[in-house]
Amino acid sequence: MVEKVIPIRLDEGKDKGLAPPIPGQLVAANTSTKDTRGRPLRDLRISVTDRCNFRCTYCMPKEIFDKNYPYLSHQELLSFEEIARLTTIFASLGVEKIRLTGGEPLLRKNLEVLIEMLAKIRSTAGQPLDLTLTTNGSILRKKAAALKAAGLHRLTISLDGLNDEIFKKMNDVDFPVTDVLDGIAAAQEAGFTNLKVNMVVKKGTNDQEIIAMAKHFKGSGVTLRFIEFMDVGSSNGWDMSQVLPSKDVAEKINAVFPIEAIEANYPGEVAQRWRYVDGSGEIGFISSVTQTFCHECTRARISTDGQMYLCLFANAGFDFKTLLRSDKSDLEIANAIMNTWADREDHYSEIRGSNTATAATRKVEMSYIGG
Ligand code: SAM
Ligand code: SF4
Ligand code: SF4
């Protein structure tokens, strides 16, 4: 039984988020800002909705995300114009990669219109941004062609097993596996290549699906990535006994289908890359519990209502929505982002379990901040 908690929401009337610091003396937007640990700002995850049609037990458990949950109203969401403006400013500061997420991003009405707007933005090198999206795949059959036409580059689909009974236990809304697989097929038909599938592994719940998933996607051109169950938010009843370390997942797979580690594509890549020795493709491991990667973390997050978070495990955000809705110029907002980033100290996964970690305090929910 998950303990009933009051979710963090910055508009609960008590707390509007931290005010982003705008310096008296403005400097030109530049890509050289580093945080207190020497990490530059290069990736942005944007949550476009805090709503979802699934109730994955590790993310939006039913007991908490019920009909009384205080979801954001339409007025509180950043508009597409606000998201595009903010993204343009982030791009001027060196951000090259954008991931749209949520909640379930495909539930945001006319999302393809936002994608079209983001596809026009250029990096400081004059290149289009790398535009990607993570989805539970439930309505991908309906949306895939429009997403591709709008200019989305890449897609990641979440799927936690192939056995219907187990998958339904994970999504907790009786959603069948076949419809997600059909969504993946629709994405391939629409012309998306290099698809990724994310499987959160919860020990004792879906770990018996590891080999079946590996077998299904091996040789298909789809890269399967195993994610360690994380202690995000304050509502998913996390404890270490439910985490199956990536090392154990890799051993299980290697015993059936031999695999070997390969080099990362770029510094700061979240997933560790492995490949099947027989040449039938790649798999990945996202090991934020047992093999932390904070030292290379170049990601900022924008919540559905325009708060900037410096870490997935943060318990407070910086209120950029108020700045966007004021008379502040792009340069003032760029300076506020640079200053906020320059003060960043976050490295939660490296100190998880220590006295300094915020583990005991309320952290922001993943569906609001974006996974
Ligand atoms: N609804 C979309 C989806 O499920 O793909 C996008 C948002 S979801 C929050 C983004 C990713 O976070 C998904 O791959 C999901 O499996 C993962 N996730 C959510 N809660 C998690 C947890 N407690 N531990 C590890 N991964 C988690
Ligand atoms: Fe929804 Fe994605 Fe969270 Fe599952 S992981 S509840 S699909 S937002
Ligand atoms: Fe980045 Fe925070 Fe995750 Fe560390 S714990 S990798 S700083 S988001």
Length of the chain equals 371
Instruction: Calculate how far, in angstroms, residue 273's C-alpha sits from the geometric centre of ligand 3.
Output: 19
CA distance 300 to 318: 11
For residue 110, give both structure tokens: 């006319």
Those residues whose C-beta lies under 8 Å from the C-beta of residue 105, and which sit 6 or more positions away, are 47, 48, 49, 111, 133, 134, 135
Q: Is 80 touching ligand 3 by the criterion CB < 6 Å? A: no
Q: Which atom of ligand 3 is nearest to the CA of 270?
A: 6
Of residues 59, 93, 39, 34, the one with CA closest to residue 293 = 39
Tokens 């592994």 belong to: 201
| DSSP symbol at 204 | T
CA distance 234 to 368: 12
Contact between 344 and 289 under an 8 Å Cβ cutoff? The reply is no
3-state helix, strand, coil in the chain (%, to 5): 30, 15, 55
Tokens 């998933």 belong to: 213
Q: Which residues of 326-361 are buried (b: 16+ CB within 10 A; e: fewer)?
A: eebeeebbbbbbbbbbeebebbbbebbeeeebbbee
Of residues 163, 110, 155, the one with CA closest to residue 135 = 155
User: Which residues have CB under 6 Å of ligand 1?
Assistant: 52, 58-59, 101-102, 104, 134-136, 158, 198, 200, 227, 229-230, 232, 236, 366-367, 371
Instruction: Calculate how far, in angstroms, residue 288's C-alpha sits from the geometric centre of ligand 3.
Output: 8
Of residues 237, 328, 226, the one with CA closest to residue 282 = 226
CA Rg value for the chain: 20
For residue 155, give both structure tokens: 């897609």
At residue 184, the 3 state secondary structure works out as helix
For residue 38, give both structure tokens: 């020497």
Q: Is 348 touching ligand 3 by the criterion CB < 6 Å? A: yes
Top mutation candidate among 2, 46, 50, 60 for ligand 2, by most atoms within 8 Å of CB = 60
Beta-strand relationship, 272-276 and 318-319:
unpaired
Q: Which atom of ligand 2 is nearest to the CA of 171?
A: 4
Tokens 């939660």 belong to: 348
For residue 202, give both structure tokens: 């919860």
Tokens 């879906």 belong to: 206
Per residue of the chain (371 residues), give pLDDT as tens.
Answer: 344 444 455 444 445 689 999 999 999 999 999 999 999 999 999 999 999 999 999 999 999 999 999 999 999 999 999 999 999 999 999 999 999 999 999 999 999 999 999 999 999 999 999 999 999 999 999 999 999 999 999 999 999 999 999 999 999 999 999 999 999 999 999 999 999 999 999 999 999 999 999 999 999 999 999 999 998 777 777 889 999 999 999 999 999 999 999 998 887 788 999 999 999 999 999 998 998 889 999 999 999 999 999 999 898 999 999 999 999 999 999 999 999 999 999 998 888 876 555 444 557 788 887 77
Tokens 């250029």 belong to: 122
| DSSP symbol at 31 | S
Would you list the domain boundaries of the chain? Answer: 43-369
- Predicted TM-score (pTM) of the model is 0.94
Tokens 């062609």 belong to: 145
Q: Which atom of ligand 3 is nearest to the CA of 293?
A: 6
CATH number of 43-369: 3.20.20.70
